[in-house]
Structure 1
Amino acid sequence: MAESRIGDQAIEFLGSYYAKHEKKSGLLVNRLVATHQGTFADALFAYQKHDNCFFAVSLNTSASHKLARLLSTYKKNGLGKSRYLTATAIFGTAAYLCYLTGSWLIMASIPALLAFIGFHLHSRLRKRYIQQQLKAAVDQLKQQPADHQWLGIRVSSLCWRSNAMADYLSKLCERKGIGLLTVGKRSRLTLHQEPRPATCRRSDFLSYYTQGDSLRRELSEQFMRVA
Structure 2
Amino acid sequence: MSKLKEKTIQDKALEALKKHYQQQRSINNIYACTEAWTKKEKGGKRADGLICFQTNEGQFYTVSMEAKSHKTLQALTSSVNEDRLGWNSLLAAGSLTLGAAVLCFTLLDLKWWIVLLSAFPLFFLSLVGFIVLFDRLDLNRHRLNSVVEQLKQYPANEQWLVYSKHADNLLATLTSNGRRSHLQTLISLCRQNGFGLMLLSNQKIHLEMEPKPRKGNFLDTYSRAPKIREELNNPLVLETA
Give TM-score, length-normalised by structure 1: 0.64
Equivalence for 1:59 = 65
Q: Distance in 2 between matches of 1:44 and 1:64?
A: 22
CA contact (8 A) 1:147 1:198 kept: yes
Equivalence for 1:193 = 209
CA contact (8 A) 2:9 2:69 kept: no
Q: What letter matches 1:212 in structure 2?
A: A
- What displacement does 1:188 show? 3.0
Q: Distance in 1 between matches of 2:212 and 2:64?
A: 13
Choose the corresponding residue for 1:208, options 178, 201, 221. 221
- What displacement does 1:142 show? 1.6
- The verdict on how the C-alpha distance between 1:212 and 1:71 changes in structure 2, with shifts beyond 3 A counting, is closer
Q: Share of identical aligned residues, percent?
A: 26
Is 1:159 the counterpart of 2:159? The answer is no
CA contact (8 A) 2:76 2:186 kept: no
Q: Distance in 1 between matches of 2:50 and 2:77?
A: 28
CA contact (8 A) 2:47 2:154 kept: yes
CA contact (8 A) 2:5 2:69 kept: no
- What displacement does 1:194 show? 0.6
Choose the corresponding residue for 2:152, options 139, 142, 164. 142
- What displacement does 1:198 show? 1.8
SS in 1 for 2:159: strand
Give TM-score, length-normalised by structure 2: 0.60
SS in 2 for 1:61: strand
Equivalence for 1:91 = none
Q: Distance in 1 between matches of 2:75 and 2:46?
A: 23
RMSD: 3.5
SS in 2 for 1:24: coil
Kindly provide the CA deviation profile for residues 31-85 of structure 1, in whole angstroms up to 9, marking residues without a partner as x.
Answer: 111111211111110111111111111111158743x347689xxxxxxxxxxxx
Choose the corresponding residue for 1:18, options 18, 21, 43. 21
